Structure 1
Amino acid sequence: MVGALAVVKPLPEVRVTELPQEDIKWCTVSLSDVLDTGKRLEASVFEVEGRHAREAVENCTWGTVPLGEPGNGLLEKAYYPGRFKRIYCSAECGVPFYLPSQMTDIRPKPDKYISALTKCDISDLKLKRGDLLLTRSGTIGNSTIVSQTLEDVVFSDDVIRVTPKNPIDLGYLYAFFRSETGYKILQTNQYGSVIRHIEPEHLYSICVPNPPEAIKKKINDLIMQSYRLRDESNELLDTATKMLVETLNLPPIKEFQIEQFGDGYETNNYSVKLSETNKRLDGSYHVPIAKAITEHLRRNAKELLTVGDKRVSKDIILPGRFKRVYVEEGQGRVFFGGKQLFELDPSNKKYLSLAHHGDRIKEQLELHENMTLITCSGTIGKVTLVPRQWERWAANQHIIRVVPASDEIAGYLSVFLSSEYGYPLITRFTYGSVVDEINATHVSQIPFPILADKPIQDKINQLALKANSLRYEAYKLEQEALRSMNDEVIFA
């Protein structure tokens, strides 16, 4: 019999490498976390920053309190209306309907209208003042407060409505979820996995810092004052737009008389003189509404100029396309796009490298107070006035900058172009088979009315600039609240 001989070899020495915490994002993951995520081993499943955010809150000086189930925690209610199949219709026949992407706009305008035939209770969709709103799908975690501007507005069921039990928790919770720490917690679950959809139940287990009432009240007061200033700025702009409409005797946009080529056709039809084609053969350029508005302005304005006239604008800038080099926050220039154009503090900001793009930023991308911005690619015709907090920030090449001739016309220019009468005059220039585009030359050709009543025009201009100033004050108050949340609460 031959015996088996086993030889045991010593295991090689295992070296433990210390992870460079400042150079890469890292975290430890337990086996139970891996099993909870469906045995996924990709690093992207475990959001490092989300885990660190939860640790920061757990270790804060003031201790924590869970939001808890309604009635047993900080929340009185957390819900969203039941899902339903939407039936869209024209503006004349339906109710203005807002989408989650518009929730953070300072002054949202409806893009869609739902019919009364939609099988849902429209009243359940209306927002109630004093609620906190959170987007629950797609881009989750965006938040806003229902103030005067959004009260009774009909919003999508993709928005969670949260009613705090204590009124001072409204601004406090908003500031927490607007902070980088709270935003990350809202986007991840307890083991750091990124989630793409949240339900009200997900909120109940979230723990928030529990500082003294005096600190909560301070933060709440700053946030609520910020929203009051936003509402006031919207009222000023509504007043300015109303004055513009009345002075130019503009009828409702749908009441313009449009002449058609013939009445026996199922589609819209119209004729265009060869001399008026302007070398454009696309039907959208010759839409009768643009011609009707232009003729009305010519009859009722003192003078009909164009946006490119030197009495209206110094320059119209469309940046060239370029490959972007991004850097970390604090190392470059703030950079955002057209989707964030209506926000007080643009979300998802990025930072452009000054070393790679310094000259381009200075010559083309940089924003300055009281410029008028117009989106020119994809979604055409979104217009806003640059507030002071965006001074020297940068916006992408899908936004045209109109540099006003002076501050004496800057606000009036923005009010006209952002009105429902300015929109058709902008979008008529649209070209492109896949992605819609307009360029700086097109913007320079947009008709622009000078009012016969100079004091009224000056008043409209002043109202717009005052509204812009109020938005800057609102921004400062919110930033002060966020600094207090970070310095006095989360990282105290």
Structure 2
Amino acid sequence: MVNDNLAHQIAETPECEIVIDKAPVKWCTVSLSEIIERGKRLEASVYDVEAKQAREIIADAKYPLTTLGGADGMTTSYTGARFKRIWVEKSDYPIYQPSTIMDIKPSPDGYISAVTDTDIDALRVSKGQVLMTCSGTIGKVSFVSDTIDNLIFSHDLLRINCKKPSDAGYVYAYLKSKVGNKILLTNSYGAVITHIEPEHLATVPIPDAPDALKLKIGNLVIQSYTLRDESNTLIDEATKLLIEELKLPAIDNFEVDCFKKDAPVETFNVKLSEMNYRLDASYHLPIVDAIVDHIKKYAAEVTSIRDKRISSAVILPGRFKRVYVEEGHGYALFGGKQIHTLDPSGKKYLSKSKHDERISKELLIEENTTLITRSGTIGKVALVPKHWANWIASEHIIRVVPASQDVAGYNYIFLLSDYGRVLIQRYTYGAVVDEIDNGHVSDIPIPLLKNHDVQKRINDLALEANKKRYEAYKLEQKALKIMDEEVIYAK
């Protein structure tokens, strides 16, 4: 009977070899009181190992701990009161969403009426504040510099004021660090926080470094944001030059050829010869023809993006199944939602070995290439700065590789403008998810200016702005490195 035992037979079968994965595992100790506090749950997912380790790291660090908020903490913070928004087409009150705080130059989500039942001025952010998303995707952090000073943001954004204004850059760098951000997003037991309230900051520990070290880190952050402001000023100057040279009116002031001007909806005629096999009305909007006709009148020539004087290639990578790896073992990957940020690299890294051929031919991006989002939100435009070179933009982003550095910045400025955005978005198709493709982008009209010196100036301003963004990135990374080496991990 014993010889017939199945367990005994399996144990003696030499072909059954157990291979133990020697890869490191995440682990931590959990006290009985913590288990009871978490409802006697024994699943590892209830206890964020990395968060507990992060708290242990700063507890063992060189400097004593204080708290981020609370009566004795370094900051005070608040959110706005909830209110019902009254949207209007245009007003003196553009409002911005919390998700845009990471953008180098945010765009408003819309406009609210002056009669909206809330204290609109209380929603404005102030220079020197640290901002944090507190719902949805929480824990994203930004710093208020000249670009967004006094702008109106929605209520669900945490405004953090430092009791000592000179600490603002230091607090920002701590919350941007991997350790600081991980602690922020979890409570003392490692459970993930789903919404951050001002009082939550009273439970977030932060090393109380010497004032000189805080100032050293803070100054780097402020310098980084100053360079971002300067880059935005250069972009605005280049756009203004383009508008002046082409004598372009505001996008809302174009005279368009409507079929019936007093109709409750926009109506217009389209010739059969101009249909281009497109039956969707958005493709034939009169504003498109108005813009093209106008730039033909004032430009030396109107060509298209596919012109070899403008681009050497317009690349749309094919779809593929992604193989992700850990940080440090692959290429940083980012998507269309992130292209307006200074540092779009997230927590995703593509395997070099699995995607080597596709990466080299389609996915790697080069400095001063213009990126255009092709699905979802169509027509977001970015110019690749130096630190993005050899990163990977997803297949949802079209690459316009410039014919030379003499037109790289000019291409970007025109496509970034209100007029370029209209010409991009007119190609949009799709019933559920909007799309455009590289053929559409290749067909986008682009003017060549009569005054070559002005075109060169526009190009140079854009490239100079891109260099400043690269320098801004380096300064922020330096601040984060000092925060790690001299504060968080210092012994």
CA distances 1:167-219 after superposition (whole Å, capped 9, x unpaired): 22111111111110011011111110011101000001211112222211111
Q: Distance in 2 between matches of 1:36 and 1:198?
A: 20
Q: Distance in 1 between matches of 2:84 and 2:31?
A: 42
Q: How does 1:13-52 map to 2 (within 5 A)?
A: 23-52=24-53
Q: Distance in 2 between matches of 1:47 and 1:361?
A: 34
* Residue in structure 1 matched with residue 15 of structure 2 by the alignment: none
Q: Structure 1's 452 and 120: CA in aligned 2 closer, same or farther, altered over 3 A?
A: same
Counterpart contact for 2:333–2:345, Cα < 8 Å:
no
Q: Which amino acid aligns with 1:89?
A: V
* Residue in structure 1 matched with residue 373 of structure 2 by the alignment: 375
* Residue in structure 2 matched with residue 133 of structure 1 by the alignment: 131
Q: Distance in 2 between matches of 1:311 and 1:491?
A: 52
TM-score by length of 2: 0.93
Q: Distance in 2 between matches of 1:265 and 1:43?
A: 63
* Residue in structure 1 matched with residue 141 of structure 2 by the alignment: 143
Q: Which amino acid aligns with 1:73?
A: G
Q: Which amino acid aligns with 1:101?
A: S
* Residue in structure 1 matched with residue 115 of structure 2 by the alignment: 117
CA distances 1:394-436 after superposition (whole Å, capped 9, x unpaired): 0100000000000000001000101111101000000111110
Task: Kindly indicate whether residue 183 of structure 2 is the aligned counterpart of residue 185 of structure 1.
Answer: yes
CA distances 1:79-104 after superposition (whole Å, capped 9, x unpaired): 011111122221x2352111111011
* Residue in structure 1 matched with residue 83 of structure 2 by the alignment: 84
Counterpart contact for 2:332–2:346, Cα < 8 Å:
no
Counterpart contact for 1:68–1:205, Cα < 8 Å:
yes
Q: Distance in 1 between matches of 2:287 and 2:41?
A: 56
Q: How does 1:292-307 map to 2 (within 5 A)?
A: 292-307=290-305
Bigger shift: 260-269 or 52-61? 260-269
User: How big is the shift at 1:24?
Assistant: 1.8
Bigger shift: 247-256 or 114-123? 114-123
Q: Distance in 1 between matches of 2:489 and 2:130?
A: 24
Q: Which amino acid aligns with 2:55?
A: R
Q: Please state whether the residue corresponding to 1:335 is helix, strand or coil.
A: strand
Q: Which amino acid aligns with 1:87?
A: I
CA distances 1:14-61 after superposition (whole Å, capped 9, x unpaired): xxxxx9996222223334334433454443232111111111111111
Counterpart contact for 1:222–1:481, Cα < 8 Å:
yes
Q: How does 1:39-438 map to 2 (within 5 A)?
A: 39-70=40-71, 72-75=72-75, 77-90=76-89, 92-93=90-91, 95-263=93-261, 265-346=263-344, 348-438=346-436
Q: Distance in 2 between matches of 1:435 and 1:365?
A: 22
* Residue in structure 2 matched with residue 8 of structure 1 by the alignment: none
Q: Which amino acid aligns with 1:59?
A: D
Q: Distance in 2 between matches of 1:420 and 1:235?
A: 17
CA distances 1:432-473 after superposition (whole Å, capped 9, x unpaired): 111100000000000000010110110010000000000000
Q: 1:446 aligns with which of 444, 447, 457?
A: 444
* Residue in structure 1 matched with residue 488 of structure 2 by the alignment: 490
Q: Which amino acid aligns with 1:33?
A: E
User: How big is the shift at 1:234?
Assistant: 0.4
TM-score by length of 1: 0.93
Q: Distance in 2 between matches of 1:68 and 1:329?
A: 32
Q: Which amino acid aligns with 2:87?
A: Y
Bigger shift: 131-140 or 263-272? 263-272
Counterpart contact for 1:315–1:402, Cα < 8 Å:
yes
Q: Please state whether the residue corresponding to 1:93 is helix, strand or coil.
A: coil
CA RMSD between the two structures: 1.5
Bigger shift: 256-265 or 374-383? 256-265
User: How big is the shift at 1:324?
Assistant: 0.4
Counterpart contact for 1:88–1:94, Cα < 8 Å:
no
Q: Distance in 2 between matches of 1:114 and 1:66?
A: 37
CA distances 1:104-155 after superposition (whole Å, capped 9, x unpaired): 1001111322122321111011111110101101111110110000101111
Counterpart contact for 1:63–1:210, Cα < 8 Å:
yes
Task: Kindly indicate whether residue 480 of structure 2 is the aligned counterpart of residue 479 of structure 1.
Answer: no
User: How big is the shift at 1:347?
Assistant: 5.0
User: How big is the shift at 1:259?
Assistant: 1.9
User: Unaligned 5+ residue runs, structure 2?
Assistant: 1-19
Q: Distance in 2 between matches of 1:303 and 1:236?
A: 25
User: How big is the shift at 1:489?
Assistant: 0.7
Alignment size in residue pairs? 471
Q: Please state whether the residue corresponding to 1:315 is helix, strand or coil.
A: strand
User: How big is the shift at 1:228?
Assistant: 0.5
Q: Structure 1's 68 and 380: CA in aligned 2 closer, same or farther, altered over 3 A?
A: closer
* Residue in structure 1 matched with residue 458 of structure 2 by the alignment: 460
Counterpart contact for 1:136–1:160, Cα < 8 Å:
yes
Q: Distance in 2 between matches of 1:163 and 1:404?
A: 43
